[in-house]
Amino acid sequence: MGKSTGRKKSRDESQARSPRVSASQPIHPHPHPHPHHHPHHEPYNNHRPNRPSPLSNCTTVEDGKSDSDHLPTNKSKQPKKQKKAAYSHLNQEDSRSTLRPIDLLAIFHALRAELGTQNEQTVHGFLKKYIAFGEGAFSILFRRIVDVQAEWTRDQQVWDAMGITVVQTFLQGISGFIQTQKEGATQQEKEEGPKRLAEWLIIEPPFPPQYSELIAELKSSFPHGNEEELDKLCTRLLPEAREGIGGNSTWIPFIKFMVQYFVFLRDVDPSNLLRTYDQLSQLVQKASSAFKDAILGHMLLGSMQLYCKLLARLAIGLDKQPELIAGLAEESVEDDAVPVTLPERAANTVREALAATLQDKSDGMSGKRGGIYIFANLCLKILFQCKKIRNCSHTFNSIDALSPPLRMYPKPQQVTYLYYLGRFHFSTSHFFRAQLALQRAYDLCPPFEQFRKQRRLILIYLLTSNIILGRMPAEVLWDKPESRGLKERFDPICTVIKKGDLATFRWLTSFDNEHASWFLHFRIFLQIRNRCEVLVLRTLARKVFALNGDPGDLSISRSPNLQISDLVHILQYLERRALNPILASDRPGRSHFNMMFVRDTVPKTAYYTDPDFEDAEDLPEEEDDERILVTDDPLILPDMFEAESIVASLINQGLLNAFVAHKMKRIAIKDMKKANGRSVLDVGFPNVWEVVRRSNGNAEVPGWKVREGRAGGQTYNLGAVKEIGA
């Protein structure tokens, strides 16, 4: 009884001890034969780090210096969580169906460390020596490991028989790049790994000779419909993705991406653009899933940038060839109420990558955060190309809330982003914000020949914004290389603004003008036509006041003033001159836009009344209208009411420092007692640019991240945003 009790007690104490589970990457117990060496695959081998091959032909557990450093010892302290996990796996009722290879290997290393048998050479020998059959979970564990070994050995024999060497060698290199992210690797190795991975995962023809052999082997060994075997091969040869690194979670989406990558290389046909777009979209979707991984996703940053750029270029190119996508457009109309264009689909895909970079928790510029503005610029480019500018607001709001400051990124990315930001604010009539962003972009863009096109494009919108804000360009600007051809288009507009020549301004901003098509191409025609008219009217009012205004007498508290009727007369004269086709353009056969109001007979459409208003009795009678023309001219010309409205608008915008005496029909300049030596014109008509700058103060430009830190107390769910075009 005593001996039996002692043996039972010893066995219980042995089972009560917690196994030491290695936190490092487990060493695989299964055999990995070397792929046959091929002399043409030196680029792959040259990229591999100096380490044991993941496809080692050794069937033993190596205990050399490199591996023994990572093996647990009896003295090493292991996390309690991992110890409990190892025992919980062994105590499961059906370990055969629930244990994964990573669980088995963790238990194997824990048992080796617990029994002090680090020098055992093989998994099979260790289990056979220390774990006998018929002892519950240990027996199941043994059988399971043997089954896994046998299964992987059979697969390896099949692949070797098929002569699959190039694909295996390629996956070895990919596996080596992933291993650069393991604990203990130098910072240089961690930074170099993602770069080398992007260099290998190329997709755009023409391919190097090594890739031609890779594609040929994929077509012969893994034809269409054999993707399951390809998935098995990638799973087998990418243990870092299959099992994780340093105890972290697995990276299974990367394995799925690699399968899709091989399928893309195998099936891509550059001559069929529409099919290539579909294949590339599928590849980018798989890459995006792997890119979202919090631990290893940053390794695909370079590849995602390349793929998204190619996808955007292909989508924009196809959108310009409607004959190629006619069938796709018809399907879109049938499926959805609102058709979604290819560029819009590409923008949604790129926006997913942008969301992944913004949600990255890395510090500073590390991890995926270094690609924020690359994806943002790409998304903005697509949206501007497909004329969905309003949809850019979500991108700018996300950047404003979650991005590091813009100044931390390379200057090319800053220039591109600020250009699109300025264009966006220009399109929403926030011209002061547009001017700030575009001016910074222009200053950052180098004044070299290779950047002349970019500087010219920025300058066109910067010039327009400044002119609308009352800042006229200096003559020296027209001498710059990027300003070639701009003077003859912008200088006449600046001249009429300075002169207050309303008649010439009407002609310059008519659709019949020779430069109208150029302004329309850059989408600045209507902004110039509508916004610059206010500046012309301000200058005109200033000239009328200088010629015919009453200087007033401050000694008797009489402010300088002007009769509004004087302004009415000059407005009517200039509008009549603008309506005359010969005087307005100095050439026959031209007519101004306002000529549509000049008719000998009233069209029938003028008498149309909506049926809902036929019985209305509360409409004012025509004779009750206070708008009384001061002339019997049949042309529709400005009257006293319109002149007062113009003056009130100038006062409201701060361009006229005065008040309107409606009963006396006069404009009176105010604040003359605070003139401090300034003239009546300087007090009454302040500088336009100074007024605009003072009214905006030091306001920040939305979308331009200047200060560090994220928006506190705000939650942004970037995944639930409505898709573009939906």
Q: Average pLDDT of 269-289?
A: 92
26 vs 105: CA distance, rounded Å:
6
Which tokens hold the place of 150?
């046998």
Q: Which structure tokens are listed for 162?
A: 């098929």
Give the integer Cα–Cα distance in Å for 50 and 45: 10
pLDDT-wise least confident of 111-125, 447-461, 558-572, 641-655: 111-125
pLDDT given at position 142:
63
ω into residue 72 within 30 of 0, thus cis?
no
Contact 194, 143 (CB under 8 A): no
In this predicted structure, the answer to whether residue 529 has a pLDDT above a threshold of 90 is: yes
CA separation for the pair 664, 235 (Å, rounded)? 89
Residue matched to tokens 């050399």:
64
Taking the model in full, what pTM does it have?
A: 0.73
Predicted confidence (pLDDT) per residue in 280-339, tens digit: 999 999 999 999 998 999 999 999 999 999 999 999 988 888 777 766 655 554 454 567
What pLDDT sits at residue 140?
Answer: 63
Question: What pLDDT, in 10s, does the model give residues 692-711?
Answer: 999 888 878 999 998 876 54
d(CA 389, CA 368): 26
3-state secondary structure of 68: helix
Query: Which of 73-77, 360-364, 365-369 tops mean pLDDT?
Result: 365-369
pLDDT at position 614 over 60: no
Neighbouring residues of 158: CB distance < 8 A, sequence distance ≥ 6: none
Number of C-beta neighbours around residue 265 at 10 A = 19
Strand pairing report for 658-661 and 666-669: antiparallel
Q: b or e along 277-292 (b: 16 or more beta carbons within 10 Å of the residue's beta carbon)?
A: bebbbebbebbbbbbb
> Residue 316: which of 384, 375, 413 has the closest Cα?
384
